[in-house]
Structure 1
């Protein structure tokens, strides 16, 4: 195999990148820079929202800042569903990613404008663009391999996944530092520049992508397009009228936007699962597997509800209760956000080797056992946070508390996230093969929306009870899943 973009494959004459189709290099760079922009902005988001106006922030209370962060995260994954639909029925994957990248870039540059109104418009654009891009760029990676049994396919996705984590690792170290130490809005502008670089690599690499990525797999008919536009305009007018009335009454607050989105983030995942589960066209085996899938979905939602607080409640803990110095070296609180991708890059190859080694000895844990372990680990991480919160009552604590929390959560993530994606493809009914991937991402939406709901109801995050209650819930859920593993395995009908 060739090891560079400039060398060809001896067997086929095609140009390759590390032995893979050359288009992988450009999709790798596109995703790396998009994730750089996404995680760089996210590392600053809660800190900026909660910072005093005198310090350049928006001066919001912690609860509102956490709620906005959680709703934003929830919407990114919620919008992956319509994002996939746009790729399948309107634009095709290639055009969908191009449009999404431009929207994301515009959103970041709007955040760079020192205006509250432009900030929230930019945040909405980033969420919408990220949902569309996330749903379509992975599809194009798969399309690079014309043969579905191409032995390079899994390796290609592994390389692509490393690009995600490289971007996520570098972003807080650079954007986070600039935003906190120099100027918030310059940091947000850097995120926009990162997305611009991603788009540059994407457009340069067009000719290396599979032509099928430009096609619309299932285009809308003229009648369907008219119906979609008509319904969209009706809902837009209803929403605009409702918010206009609230505005004229002079009672508008950010909660009028957060509450509907939070409720949507809870209702839509439940409706999506129920719609598929109640489909009478499903075979009995598929119905049974969907019943098993509900267990995994709930477990994943609990996991992500805790895990995704790394950029919200844990960031606020880092800011208010953690020493920002280690071994005599000072650093901004946003740098903690680089720990997870660092641990993923270090541990992912080890876990991949471990599962294969255990499988060869017929000792690999089942999917149920992996999910159970992930829940216990994320519960343990919040148990540690409970202790850290108590220790912080006497002053700021060592950064090693958060380092250990991020490490434990990463171990849990590697037992749940890739395993969950694989499990979804196995349990998905044939009729809903593609849609089920979007449904799995809705577990993130449900988890983040739950945290947003708690914040909107006024539950304080800077208490030991906040960490203790969620940690105990996750650990107990993990134990419950394990105790009922035989029942769940039976519902899976031969899937392990």
Structure 2
């Protein structure tokens, strides 16, 4: 499949084989297809997950528990990117880590495909572990294809790679969602495994086109470090086994014994990581100042993702129970709503990029802080918009599908303002000592936001209630306005970063 997308080089002096992938190194085709199939499996399963959890033919859980499980799963995926990056750097190297991760993800989806509720949560855990391992390392390999950060093709390569993410995310709900909802839930999960399997096969076949140093372990563990790491891992694993064995044999075990610790970790670990970096006395005054500014962005991003990621849980469950999921009399599966975001991103991302360039030429491009604040305001506005279909449903009527499409549209515009800016500002403001870890820190903002949603659901908060939705919307708008009002102070803390 990758070879059909390659063409002759149009860039004189392009290193590597004669054939390239849209003018980029041939290895980009391998990574593009791997990420596309991985996102196909990930977003396909994710579109089915909350619906399966509440369905009478699924696990038959209530909406609150389903939202908690969904949120904990998402928070784990992003939390595990940090140990995933560690494995790539210290144990297996990026290439081996991605290959193993793909196998773990496929095994997880196959476990979900088994018609047994007893293995379902194990399958979710395997997918989360594999996703954390893969997500942290595949982007590293994209960067390794180029001749350093100054290679003029580098940004374009990541743009092509980003399209692979959205192609997979767009197609997944249409294929996996349709089969899962209309034919059989477990067959849908099996299709996700098939997608990941195709990704692994083409990755292994195309790995010869990757950069040679992608298979090198950058900072291998010493014998002493390996021994210490294994000893600590064995200790904590044994402690967990003993603890849950006691809880289980006592008859007190419920699902919350797993959900509560995981959600608390999703909130506590980001705080501990930021605190450790901020209190590092080896950082100079400029780096300390930038970290103080970065905390503003981090907290704001956590609020953003707390609302944004409910597009796959709160909004999806509302659509399942209270929306008229049809257009011109043609009914469609609820999971199809999850294709709205990627198709809007593919349509609007070039528009936003051209807009920033046009404004920059005139010296009027908004600053990072302003873009961030507007992103927060938009995600808050999306939940204020959500109040309309909630009111319609409270009146005993089904809300039109276009209400939900409008909500996803506003959220995606907010994402295009905040997410790329957040990635960029993370790399720019990272202290030299933590340069390789800061991208994992950025993903912890997603972890914190999703874990907060999980804690609310576990506490019995109905996230589809008008008052709660209005409160979340207000929180996001207030956070956006606060960043805008204090933009001068934040800008001072950022130093030379703009």
Matched residue, 2:160: 159
- Give the TM-score normalised by structure 1: 0.98
Moved over 2 A (4+): 2-15
Matched residue, 2:148: 147
- Once the two structures are superposed, residues 166-215 of structure 1 have per-residue CA deviations (whole angstroms, 9 ceiling, x without a partner) of 00000001100100000000000000000001111101111100010000
Is contact 1:80–1:131 with CA below 8 Å preserved after alignment? yes
CA positional deviation for 1:7: 2.3
Task: Tell me, in whole angstroms, the C-alpha distance in 2 between the residues paired with 1:251 and 1:159.
Answer: 51
Task: Tell me, in whole angstroms, the C-alpha distance in 2 between the residues paired with 1:361 and 1:379.
Answer: 30
Task: Tell me, in whole angstroms, the C-alpha distance in 2 between the residues paired with 1:188 and 1:439.
Answer: 30
Matched residue, 1:68: 69
- Determine if the alignment matches structure 1 residue 390 to structure 2 residue 394: no
Residue among 40, 47, 72 paired with 1:43: 47
Distance 1:4 1:39, change over 3 A: closer
CA positional deviation for 1:481: 0.6
CA positional deviation for 1:5: 2.4
Is contact 2:5–2:29 with CA below 8 Å preserved after alignment? no
Q: Is the partner of 1:85 in helix, strand or coil?
A: helix
Matched residue, 2:356: 355
Matched residue, 1:20: 24
Residue among 421, 424, 428 paired with 2:423: 421
Is contact 1:262–1:452 with CA below 8 Å preserved after alignment? yes
Matched residue, 1:430: 432
- Give the TM-score normalised by structure 2: 0.97
Is contact 1:3–1:16 with CA below 8 Å preserved after alignment? no
Matched residue, 2:318: 317
Residue among 478, 482, 485 paired with 2:484: 482
Aligned residues: 492
Matched residue, 1:211: 212
Residue among 471, 474, 486 paired with 1:472: 474
Task: Tell me, in whole angstroms, the C-alpha distance in 2 between the residues paired with 1:50 and 1:352.
Answer: 40
Is contact 1:424–1:440 with CA below 8 Å preserved after alignment? yes
Q: Is the partner of 1:116 in helix, strand or coil?
A: coil
Q: Is the partner of 2:416 in helix, strand or coil?
A: helix
Residue among 398, 407, 410 paired with 1:408: 410
Matched residue, 1:34: 38
Matched residue, 2:455: 453
- Once the two structures are superposed, residues 24-73 of structure 1 have per-residue CA deviations (whole angstroms, 9 ceiling, x without a partner) of 01100000000000000000000000111xxx210111100000000000
Matched residue, 1:236: 237
Is contact 1:20–1:156 with CA below 8 Å preserved after alignment? yes
Is contact 1:277–1:287 with CA below 8 Å preserved after alignment? yes
| Structure 2 residues not aligned, in runs of 5+ | none
Task: Tell me, in whole angstroms, the C-alpha distance in 2 between the residues paired with 1:468 and 1:4.
Answer: 47
Q: Is the partner of 2:147 in helix, strand or coil?
A: coil
Task: Tell me, in whole angstroms, the C-alpha distance in 2 between the residues paired with 1:386 and 1:249.
Answer: 44
- More divergent stretch after superposition (3-12 vs 238-247): 3-12
Task: Tell me, in whole angstroms, the C-alpha distance in 2 between the residues paired with 1:100 and 1:147.
Answer: 26
- Determine if the alignment matches structure 1 residue 257 to structure 2 residue 258: yes
Task: Tell me, in whole angstroms, the C-alpha distance in 2 between the residues paired with 1:434 and 1:172.
Answer: 33
Task: Tell me, in whole angstroms, the C-alpha distance in 1 between the residues paired with 2:86 and 2:288.
Answer: 24
- Once the two structures are superposed, residues 134-191 of structure 1 have per-residue CA deviations (whole angstroms, 9 ceiling, x without a partner) of 0000000000002331111000000000000000000001100100000000000000
Task: Tell me, in whole angstroms, the C-alpha distance in 1 between the residues paired with 2:313 and 2:172.
Answer: 16
Alignment of 1:269-288 (within 5 A): 269-288=270-289
Is contact 1:425–1:437 with CA below 8 Å preserved after alignment? yes
Task: Tell me, in whole angstroms, the C-alpha distance in 1 between the residues paired with 2:205 and 2:21.
Answer: 15
Matched residue, 1:248: 249
Is contact 2:53–2:60 with CA below 8 Å preserved after alignment? yes
- Once the two structures are superposed, residues 301-360 of structure 1 have per-residue CA deviations (whole angstroms, 9 ceiling, x without a partner) of 000000000110000010011001111211011100000001000000001111111111
Q: Is the partner of 1:205 in helix, strand or coil?
A: helix
Task: Tell me, in whole angstroms, the C-alpha distance in 2 between the residues paired with 1:438 and 1:374.
Answer: 21
- Once the two structures are superposed, residues 409-435 of structure 1 have per-residue CA deviations (whole angstroms, 9 ceiling, x without a partner) of 000000011110000011000110110
Task: Tell me, in whole angstroms, the C-alpha distance in 2 between the residues paired with 1:346 and 1:57.
Answer: 35
Task: Tell me, in whole angstroms, the C-alpha distance in 2 between the residues paired with 1:378 and 1:463.
Answer: 17
| Structure 1 residues not aligned, in runs of 5+ | none
Alignment of 1:82-93 (within 5 A): 82-93=83-94
Matched residue, 2:370: 369
Is contact 1:386–1:465 with CA below 8 Å preserved after alignment? no
Is contact 2:166–2:346 with CA below 8 Å preserved after alignment? yes
Is contact 2:7–2:23 with CA below 8 Å preserved after alignment? no
CA positional deviation for 1:388: 1.4
CA positional deviation for 1:100: 0.4
Task: Tell me, in whole angstroms, the C-alpha distance in 1 between the residues paired with 2:213 and 2:261.
Answer: 38
Task: Tell me, in whole angstroms, the C-alpha distance in 2 between the residues paired with 1:6 and 1:447.
Answer: 42
Task: Tell me, in whole angstroms, the C-alpha distance in 1 between the residues paired with 2:404 and 2:96.
Answer: 41
Is contact 1:387–1:464 with CA below 8 Å preserved after alignment? no
Q: Is the partner of 2:252 in helix, strand or coil?
A: coil
